[in-house]
Structure 1
């Protein structure tokens, strides 16, 4: 059976077998390349290497607050030092669950509290060329009857990434797009100092990113869309290259 056909069967399986009171993340790698998962702080026994067109089912802790991301182009050198082209955390090993990543990287932020989970796609530290989506299956927004919405960033931001923000690998090829905060260290873009709180406003870069990824947060004070709080979802489908 072709990899994509097998993947589609697994996707159907996860949808019809939901309903457990335990929170499950379904990591779906639809990319034609391997990604290596990482989390900060550590989320438990997270199996990092996810080959193309595979499904990985992960029961989450009852409580956890942090970020998950995908590392790309990872390898081990002759001295057994493990590193990645994007999202590397500097551990030197395939297990990377606590150190923050090397930017730029697209972050999937979660706050898990039993059956209530808040979630967002964040470009506050840039984008590392991996389209992502978070899709709750079932559940309603806390205190409301609305269905828990999907959030994602599936467009190629390299199309609108200014030359001053382009991240390149050692061979000079573009591999992502920095956030202006990380690139320039300017309080205006980092929403610090005199630019904190209500003074933090969209900027020329965040507006470009928002045009392509309207469901992602593109600067530190971005509140559109809201950070959703979903209650009693059966699963959360976290898809790379949806």
Structure 2
């Protein structure tokens, strides 16, 4: 076998191995850009799964109309990042001392979460360098609907006829349609949250969400319903844009 042929075969084997293991795109971490169109200031919050995923710090505060980008540390050990982002709203106090939020409260630090979040609309992701179909993503209102969220893939190459890399979530505000018993109010009397009475079963809450935001989770078993549009994947994208839209 000539040296040239051997080199060609080696290159083909390396390429095939990368495609099989799903590590071809693992060299560059994905980014998530947050856009605030909610009409109010939001503090971006994030929590992670209990699987070694790295907690994020230095998360941005966004005035209305502003945006910011973070890099997801998926290539660091353990080779994945599984977690969620949400808008912390109605926040007051001094970071590190008495900082609290009306929605999405997750500790006294303004730039990161130190406890589990309160019920809020969620943008959920599964970045995995060993999964050739990843990243996976969805918008979840399983716990609550605090404001509309959309997730859009950035820089994706989608084959014709493919369902990959679709938009998740909705721009529709469900708060005006929240069953009265599930409404939560801000100090000024405005509706600021609609909290699910049972995340693990269909309810009048999940019916209200599904009717107006069909491309998001309304309850934990929503993905088992025929024809559901709850979970998406986009292996070819550079990252995502998460937009917080206006609510009541």
> Per the shorter chain, which TM-score range?
0.7 to 0.9
Question: Using a 3 Å threshold, how does the CA distance of structure 1 residues 77 and 57 change in structure 2: closer, same or farther?
Answer: closer
CA contact (8 A) 1:43 1:61 kept: no
Residue 26 of structure 1 pairs with residue 33 of structure 2: yes
Structure 1 gaps, min length 5: 1-19, 182-188, 192-201
Displacement after TM superposition at 1:75 (Å): 1.1
Question: Using a 3 Å threshold, how does the CA distance of structure 1 residues 78 and 178 change in structure 2: closer, same or farther?
Answer: closer
**Which residue matches 1:120?**
138
**Which residue matches 2:109?**
93
* Cα displacement string for residues 96-147 of structure 1 (whole angstroms, at most 9, x for unaligned residues): 33421112x101111111372111111110111x2211000233689x9444
Displacement after TM superposition at 1:169 (Å): 3.4
Secondary structure, aligned partner of 2:207: helix
**Which residue matches 2:200?**
190
**Which residue matches 1:167?**
184
CA contact (8 A) 2:47 2:113 kept: yes
Q: 1:228 aligns with which of 223, 229, 232?
A: 232
Which deviates further from its counterpart, 133-142 or 53-62?
Answer: 133-142
Q: TM-score, normalised by structure 2?
A: 0.72
Q: TM-score, normalised by structure 1?
A: 0.74
RMSD (CA atoms): 2.7
Secondary structure, aligned partner of 1:73: coil
CA contact (8 A) 1:168 1:175 kept: yes
Equivalent-residue separation in structure 1 for 2:158 and 2:95 (angstroms): 50
Secondary structure, aligned partner of 2:181: helix
Number of residues paired by the alignment?
A: 202
Question: Using a 3 Å threshold, how does the CA distance of structure 1 residues 216 and 84 change in structure 2: closer, same or farther?
Answer: same
Residue 51 of structure 1 pairs with residue 51 of structure 2: no
Equivalent-residue separation in structure 2 for 1:61 and 1:141 (angstroms): 24
Displacement after TM superposition at 1:30 (Å): 2.3
CA contact (8 A) 1:37 1:46 kept: no
Equivalent-residue separation in structure 1 for 2:93 and 2:34 (angstroms): 24
Structure 2 gaps, min length 5: 1-26, 49-53, 75-79
Which deviates further from its counterpart, 202-211 or 28-37?
Answer: 202-211
* Cα displacement string for residues 169-225 of structure 1 (whole angstroms, at most 9, x for unaligned residues): 3565431101121xxxxxxx524xxxxxxxxxx433312211111111101100121
Question: Using a 3 Å threshold, how does the CA distance of structure 1 residues 51 and 233 change in structure 2: closer, same or farther?
Answer: same
- Which structure's residues are more often strand, by fraction? 1
CA contact (8 A) 2:42 2:62 kept: yes
Equivalent-residue separation in structure 2 for 1:146 and 1:171 (angstroms): 43
